[in-house]
């Protein structure tokens, strides 16, 4: 599998047609923004671990715990997307997954700009989930804090999707974390004292934010993730999932966008 390389005076990026997957983004003068596992598979029938996987048309096992869907996180990250347009600093991909047609636009510059659009091409209303499953590179997750989700209700995947509420302090990480924050369009800021930077994730058209780090045991259980890589990543995912699944009328579209900047 060979990536498409975008390189300008402002930034560089590597993108694969497989999954329309952004595997690398680095603004000029900065360290890489995205985490990629050294153990990731680069095979046509498997997802890429790290970067920005696109989860669609369902997230995780789907909305119904009693009837989980496979493969995990949907079909989009396992398919070869069509390249519709390229410029010096952008790419537009498309994928037909009837009754849906998806488009993913990537713009590379001082910020990473992503726009994911879904159209219902069928004759009936259809529902989908989606996420830009963004793996951010951090210096040490144990030193990281996240602001923007204070006092927000979330579903805890480590407690059977129990509903909980975040406190008024920034999020800190002391163990495995897998949460779907609900009813939020807030900007999240990842404060990283080790790399001496902030990563800012802004979003539109998304009512859920997923926060994930596998920690020690989960990392060891994943064959495409290094046992000792967990301190160096944090997923802040722009999503519409669980109760925020999107229902589209025939012929209508929905757009979800995220912008990742560095300070």
In tens digits, what is the pLDDT along the chain, a chain of 263 residues?
Answer: 999 999 999 999 999 999 999 999 999 999 999 999 999 999 999 999 999 999 999 999 998 888 899 999 999 999 999 999 999 999 999 999 999 999 999 999 999 999 999 999 999 999 999 999 999 999 999 999 999 999 999 999 999 999 999 999 999 999 999 999 999 999 999 999 999 999 999 999 999 999 999 999 999 999 999 999 999 999 999 999 999 999 999 999 999 999 999 99
Residues 202, 259 contacting (CB under 8 angstroms):
yes
Range of the domain at 251: 4-262
Residues 6+ apart with CB under 8 A from 189: 146, 147, 148, 198, 199, 200, 201
CATH number of the domain within which 160 lies:
2.70.98.10
Domain count, the chain: 1
Percent of the chain with pLDDT over 90: 97
For 33-83, write each residue's pLDDT tens digit.
999 999 999 999 999 999 999 999 999 999 888 889 999 999 999 999 999
Tell me whether residue 237 is one of the annotated catalytic residues: yes
- Residue 216 and residue 231: Cα distance in Å, rounded? 9
- Residue 53 and residue 189: Cα distance in Å, rounded? 20
Q: Which one of the listed residues 107, 133, 166, 229 is annotated catalytic?
A: 133
Q: Which residue carries 């996180």 as its tokens? A: 73
The reported pLDDT for the residue numbered 63 is: 86
Residues 41, 51 contacting (CB under 8 angstroms):
no
User: Per the structure block, which two tokens stand in for 228?
Assistant: 């000792």
Residue 151 region by backbone torsions, left for phi larger than 0, else alpha for psi between -120 and 50, else beta: left
Q: Which one of the listed residues 107, 166, 202, 237 is annotated catalytic?
A: 237
For residue 6, the surrounding DSSP H or E stretch is strand 4-7
- Residue 55 and residue 215: Cα distance in Å, rounded? 21
Tell me whether residue 169 is one of the annotated catalytic residues: no
């Amino acid at each position: 599998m060979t990536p498409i390389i975008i390189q300008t005076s402002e930034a560089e990026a590597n993108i694969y047609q497989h999954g329309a997957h952004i595997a690398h983004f680095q603004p000029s003068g900065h360290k890489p923004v995205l985490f990629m596992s050294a153990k990731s598979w680069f095979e046509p029938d498997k997802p890429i671990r790290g970067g920005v996987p696109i989860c669609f048309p369902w997230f995780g096992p789907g909305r119904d715990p009693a009837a989980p869907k496979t493969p995990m996180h949907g079909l989009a990250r396992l398919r070869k997307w069509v390249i519709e347009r390229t410029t010096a600093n952008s790419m537009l991909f498309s994928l037909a997954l009837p009754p849906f047609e998806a488009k993913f636009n990537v713009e590379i510059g001082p910020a990473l700009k992503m726009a994911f659009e879904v159209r219902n091409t069928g004759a009936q209303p259809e529902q989908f989930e989606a996420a830009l499953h963004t793996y951010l590179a951090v210096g040490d997750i144990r030193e990281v804090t996240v602001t923007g989700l204070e006092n927000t209700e979330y579903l805890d995947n480590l407690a059977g999707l129990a509903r909980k509420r975040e406190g008024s302090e920034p999020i800190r990480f002391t163990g495995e974390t897998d949460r779907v924050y609900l009813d939020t369009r807030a900007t999240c800021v990842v404060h990283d004292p080790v790399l001496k930077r902030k990563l800012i994730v802004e979003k539109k058209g998304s009512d859920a934010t997923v926060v994930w780090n596998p920690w020690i045991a989960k990392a060891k259980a994943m064959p495409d993730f290094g046992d000792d890589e967990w301190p160096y990543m944090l997923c802040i995912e722009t999503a519409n999932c669980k109760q925020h699944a999107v229902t589209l009328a025939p012929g209508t579209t929905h757009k979800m966008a995220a912008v990742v900047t560095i300070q």
